[in-house]
Amino acid sequence: MQATLKSKINFEGIGLHSGKVSKLTLIPAPANHGIWFKRIDIPNPDNMVEAIYFNVKDKPLCTQLENNCGIKVSTVEHLMAALAGCGIQNILIEITSQEVPILDGCSEAFVEAILSAGIQKQNAKQFALQIMSRIEVNYEEAYASLSPAQSLEIDCSIDFQEEAIGQQTKSLNMANGTFVKELSSSRTFCRKVDIDVMHSKGLALGGSYDNAIVFDKGNVLTPGGLRYYDEAVRHKMLDALGDLTLAGIPIIGKYVGIRSGHMVTHRLLKKLFSSPSSFSFSSSCFCCSASIANCWPYSSVVSLPRSRSCARSFLSRSIFNCA
């Protein structure tokens, strides 16, 4: 079954890259709504941005969404991971600026608030995308792939020169609350040597020891140190889940990321949906009970669904027309 929140949730905090204060309100939404952002600081009808892979625009160090009218929402990955980890498929997210607040640099505050508000099950079937054959992408030294599995598995490896990070590898089956227990509290991180470079590019302007782990060679500069000895690779897994959630449907398969980041995972999703023979669906279509193979809701990549009711549903939720 699909799910939404039982009640509204409010957040306020600084944007990691913009350095600007942002307010966020998570609002329960009806079945089949999906995940949408609404820029309430932009007073026109073109302020809705769907959290879906074909709205992703390449941007360093975060995941940024942009609708057909150029309206943007950035640094969505930690919130998306929290929604996926808590099983929320339908939500309207009102936001007062371009960037989602970073809070303490992980998904834990989002998760705790969602669980406190309560999760409302909805009388609508939830289906999943089953990976049938391996899809992989390479970009410079980075690699990512999706391959067949019985549930969602995430396997990440990182390799940094800093002694305090070094080589880390971790693999987890994401079933049965694994995200909440193992990954949600793992914070974003950076190297001290990179901070000035990021600032010169207008990035990490809101970064601090309160919302990021800072490594300097063999030292952890953030007060209190690490929450886990392998917190860095755990955060990479958190990011991967958030980015995979932009498929718009739960994925059943194994994700492998080697030195991967947002850009590589986004390219992997685009390649996946351009190769329809590489996946199938695990249940009938939520729109019309027809075979999901004929009604899958991503017609911008392949031909429109054969069922007219499915096509209308997809067009109404995924194509945003500008005035």
Q: How many percent of the chain have pLDDT more than 90?
A: 74
Selection from 83, 38, 31 nearest residue 65 by Cα: 38
Residue 78 has pLDDT above 90, yes or no: yes
Residue 288 DSSP SS3: coil
Mean pLDDT of the region 157-172? 95
Q: Looking at the annotation, which residues are catalytic?
A: 262
Q: For residue 129, what pLDDT is reported?
A: 96
129-278: which CATH number, 3.50.50.60, 3.40.50.740, 3.40.50.300, 3.30.1700.10?
3.30.1700.10
Considering the segment(s) 2-122 as one domain, its CATH architecture is: 2-Layer Sandwich (3.30)
Lowest mean pLDDT among 44-58, 140-154, 156-170, 299-313: 299-313
Q: How confident is the model at residue 45 (pLDDT cuts 50, 70, 90)?
A: confident
| Beta-bridge partner residues of 154 | 172, 255
Q: For residue 282, what pLDDT is reported?
A: 80
Lowest mean pLDDT among 92-101, 207-216, 234-243, 264-273: 207-216
Q: For residue 197, what pLDDT is reported?
A: 85
Residue 306 has pLDDT above 90, yes or no: no
Size (the chain), residues:
323
Look up the pTM and report it. Answer: 0.86
194 residue type, one letter: D
Please give the residue that has the higher pLDDT: either 288 or 136.
136
Q: Are 245 and 107 in contact (CB under 8 A)?
A: no
Q: Is 163 exposed, middle or buried (0-12, 13-18, 19+ CB in 10 A)?
A: exposed
Mean pLDDT of the region 83-99? 97
Q: How confident is the model at residue 121 (pLDDT cuts 50, 70, 90)?
A: very high
Residue 8 CB partners (closer than 8 Å, separation 6+): 25, 26, 27, 28, 117
Q: For residue 317, what pLDDT is reported?
A: 40
Residue 138 has pLDDT above 50, yes or no: yes
Mean pLDDT of the region 129-133? 97
Domain spans, the chain? 2-122, 129-278, 284-318
pLDDT tens column, 191-226: 888 888 888 888 888 888 888 999 999 999 999 999
Q: For residue 292, what pLDDT is reported?
A: 32
Q: For residue 301, what pLDDT is reported?
A: 25
Residue 289 has pLDDT above 50, yes or no: no
Q: For residue 198, what pLDDT is reported?
A: 86
DSSP string, 220-276: E-STT--SSTTHHHHHHHHHHHHHHGGGSS-EESEEEEES--HHHHHHHHHHHHT-G
Q: Is 90 exposed, middle or buried (0-12, 13-18, 19+ CB in 10 A)?
A: buried
